[in-house]
């Protein structure tokens, strides 16, 4: 039975008891959505009538972003029509009537101001619990966020999955696991610049324009479990700060493709951590798979993706038969690309699978191939199989290996409870080794032909203390 927010054919639909529901304003994971007719979440500016506010926000006009979420500070008070006051013949009565009207107008105005600032405060606190103000050299006050808590870059349900407190099957009912970083601010009569970096000296920084006409920046695809340092520059004044993102799976948002996430962030059984930003997994980029033509990067999206991750290599697990032309990566002519015709699940034990597996792991062992984008068609079966084996090489727990496989359920729901990966585990039962991780390494080295040096190099690339 369908319940809650679900993505269907590129739209966000709200269900109650398996039926699309025109629900008005709803709150999910500290974000506010407006659910219109046929259960569709809306984008852009919409009037929310009293009957659809459900006491979440006051009646008024609101703007909802491309992610369907309420934009900070988007409240516009409704225009109130006032009746004309009939003139009284007696001056005293007229004066008294005008005086009362004046008082009630002031009360109404004060109430409207409170509602507006209350709505803005509510929207801001959905992203950050507090804010600080600082005067610049001209005496103006600049409002900046105060990051007293970790910033969560995924839904609350996805975080519970990462922490082991919720199953993927239950989590997918809550909808999209991705959450952007919102940097709220207030600038007075001047634009600003946000400079953001993982390094305290602000090396390798990214800059963002802070418009005086806006109240927030949306920053996509930050790393999880990471401290970021920043400065806000307004004129000659510079305000430094920092924030820390919570440890969780790093889901990636790129228009045109789905099921996209970083395999970093996991802890190994011996206490090491898998680095983020090395290998991003997801769907195909070119729309070739099985004639579906749905997972495709536009030129603009490809540029954004490449500017963000700076990929050097596209590991394409599909067969080269998907293309009958001289293939070039959608990520750009400078990004190396190879087809691998990868096996999946139990077929990895076929003799014909040994050569593609050997090639895959030999190329995973080359430092010059990183950062890397790995995919098949749906980023599910072949990609899921290779990531499962790679995590075994990296000594990730079996529980986390299973979880990483089932996270594909957020975009392909059947995977949330799928046990197809167990075909790999079953095939490894006869392989020497005391643990699943040892069996994977022994199968790759003793049967497939991956060298011990390549196994060591893969670990050196991915793992940090």
CA distance 243 to 150: 7
Contacts (Cβ under 8 Å, ≥6 apart) of 125: none
State how far the Cα of 11 lies from the Cα of 175, in Å rounded to an integer: 11
Q: d(Cα 71, Cα 68) in Å, to the nearest integer?
A: 9
**Average pLDDT of 314-334?**
93
The span from the CA of 254 to the CA of 344, in Å, is 26
The answer to whether the CB of 220 falls within 8 A of the CB of 243 is: no
| Structure confidence at residue 376 (pLDDT) | 96
pLDDT score, position 73: 66
Q: Are 274 and 370 in contact (CB under 8 A)?
A: no
Instruction: Give the residue-averaged pLDDT of 432-442.
Output: 98
15 φ, ψ (degrees, to nearest 5): -115, 145
What the block records as the tokens of 338 is: 């190879």
**Max CA-CA distance within the chain?**
106
pLDDT of 95 reads 47
Q: Which residue has the higher pLDDT, 11 or 266?
A: 266
CATH architecture of 134-244: Sandwich (2.60)
Q: How far is CA 385 from the centre of its chain?
A: 23
The mean pLDDT of 85-96, rounded to a whole number, is: 46
How are the residues of the chain apportioned to helix, strand and coil, as percentages rounded to the nearest 5?
Answer: 35, 25, 40
Q: What's the pLDDT band for 128 if we cut at 50, 70, 90?
A: very low
Beta-sheet strands, E only, within 29-148 = 31-35, 44-48, 60-64, 130-135, 141-146
Tell me if the bond preceding 279 is cis, omega within 30° of 0.
no
Give span(s): CATH 2.10.270.10, the chain: 1-127
Q: CA angle at residue 99 from 94 to 104, to 5 degrees?
A: 125
Residue in the block written with tokens 């934009």: 71
- Six-digit token string for 421: 């990966």
Q: Are 331 and 314 in contact (CB under 8 A)?
A: yes
Residue 31 bridge partners (DSSP): 28
Q: What local confidence, expressed as pLDDT, does residue 153 receive? A: 98
* Average pLDDT for 275-303: 91
Residue 338, pLDDT score? 97
Q: Mean pLDDT over residues 130-134, rounded?
A: 61
Segment (H or E) for 110: helix 91-127
Element spanning 19, H or E: strand 19-20
Beta strands at 313-316 and 336-339: parallel, antiparallel or unpaired: parallel
Q: Which of 222, 215, 229 is nearest to 245 (CA)?
A: 222
Tokens of 341: 């015709």
What is the location of CATH 3.90.190.10 in the chain? 253-464
Nearest to 243 by CA among 231, 265, 226: 226
pLDDT tens for each residue of 377-393? 999 999 999 999 999 99
- Mean of pLDDT over the chain: 87
User: Tens of pLDDT along 150-197?
Assistant: 999 999 999 999 999 999 999 999 999 999 999 999 987 789 999 999
Instruction: Give the pLDDT band of residue 227 (cuts 50, 70, 90).
Output: very high
Residue 123: predicted pLDDT: 45
Q: By the 8 A CB rule, do 177 and 251 touch?
A: yes
47 vs 319, higher pLDDT:
319
Phi/psi of residue 141, nearest 5 degrees: -105, 125
Average pLDDT over residues 292-297: 82
Helix boundaries (H) for 394-451: 398-406, 422-427, 436-443
∠ Cα 252 155 62 (to 5°): 95
- Does the pLDDT value for residue 366 go beyond 80? yes
Pairing of strands 60-64, 130-135: unpaired
Is pLDDT of 127 > 50? no
Please provide the size of the chain in residues.
465
The mean per-residue pLDDT over the stretch 123-141 comes to: 54
Q: Does domain 1-127 have CATH number 2.20.25.240?
A: no
Q: How confident is the model over 29-61, as pLDDT tens digits?
A: 878 988 887 788 988 887 777 667 877 888 777
According to the model, what pLDDT value does residue 40 have? Answer: 87
CA distance 72 to 103: 32
The H or E element containing residue 160 is helix 156-162
- Residue intervals of the chain classified under CATH 2.60.40.10 are 134-244
pLDDT for residue 318:
97
Fold of 253-464: 3.90.190
Percent of the chain predicted with pLDDT > 70: 84
Lowest-pLDDT range of 22-26, 121-125, 319-323 = 121-125
């Amino acid at each position: 039975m369908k319940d809650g927010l679900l993505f269907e054919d590129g739209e966000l639909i709200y269900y109650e008891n398996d039926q699309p529901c025109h629900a008005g304003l709803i709150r999910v994971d500290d974000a506010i959505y407006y659910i219109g007719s046929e259960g569709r979440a809306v984008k852009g500016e919409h009037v929310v009538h009293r009957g659809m506010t459900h006491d979440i926000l006051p009646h008024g006009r609101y703007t909802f972003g491309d992610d369907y979420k309420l934009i900070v500070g988007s409240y516009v008070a409704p225009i109130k029509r006032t009746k004309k006051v009939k003139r009284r013949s007696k001056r005293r009565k007229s004066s008294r009537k005008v005086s009362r009207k004046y008082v009630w107008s002031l009360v109404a105005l004060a109430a409207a101001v409170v509602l507006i600032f209350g709505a803005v405060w509510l929207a801001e606190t959905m992203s950050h619990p507090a804010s600080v103000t600082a005067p610049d050299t001209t005496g103006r006050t600049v409002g900046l966020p105060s990051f007293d808590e970790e910033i969560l870059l995924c839904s609350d349900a996805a975080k519970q999955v990462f922490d082991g407190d919720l199953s993927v099957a239950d989590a997918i009912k809550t909808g999209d696991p991705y959450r952007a970083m919102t940097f709220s601010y207030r600038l007075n009569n001047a634009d600003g610049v946000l400079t953001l970096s993982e390094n305290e000296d602000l090396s390798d920084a990214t800059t963002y324009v802070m418009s005086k006409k806006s109240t927030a920046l949306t920053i996509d695809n930050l790393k999880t479990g990471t401290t970021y340092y920043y400065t806000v520059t307004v004129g000659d004044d510079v305000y430094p700060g920092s924030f820390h993102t919570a440890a969780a799976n790093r889901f990636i948002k790129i228009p045109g493709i789905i099921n996209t996430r970083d395999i970093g962030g996991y802890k190994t059984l011996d206490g090491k951590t898998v680095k983020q930003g090395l290998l991003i997994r997801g769907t195909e980029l070119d729309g070739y798979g099985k004639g579906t033509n749905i997972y495709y990067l536009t030129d603009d999206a490809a540029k954004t993706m490449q500017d963000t991750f700076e990929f050097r290599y596209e590991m394409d697990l599909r067969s080269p038969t998907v293309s009958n032309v001289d293939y070039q990566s959608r990520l750009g002519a400078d990004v190396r690309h190879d087809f691998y015709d990868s096996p999946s699940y139990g077929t990895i034990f076929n003799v014909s699978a040994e050569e593609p597996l050997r090639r895959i792991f030999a190329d995973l062992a080359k430092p010059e191939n990183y950062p890397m984008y790995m995919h098949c068609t749906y980023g599910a079966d072949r990609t899921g199989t290779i990531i499962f084996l790679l995590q075994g090489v990296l000594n990730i727990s079996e529980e986390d290996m299973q979880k990483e496989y089932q996270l594909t359920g957020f975009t392909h729901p059947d995977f949330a409870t799928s046990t197809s990966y167990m075909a790999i585990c079953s095939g490894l039962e006869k392989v020497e080794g005391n643990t699943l991780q040892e069996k994977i390494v022994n199968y790759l080295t003793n049967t497939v032909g991956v060298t011990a040096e390549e196994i060591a190099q893969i670990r050196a690339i991915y793992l940090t203390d």
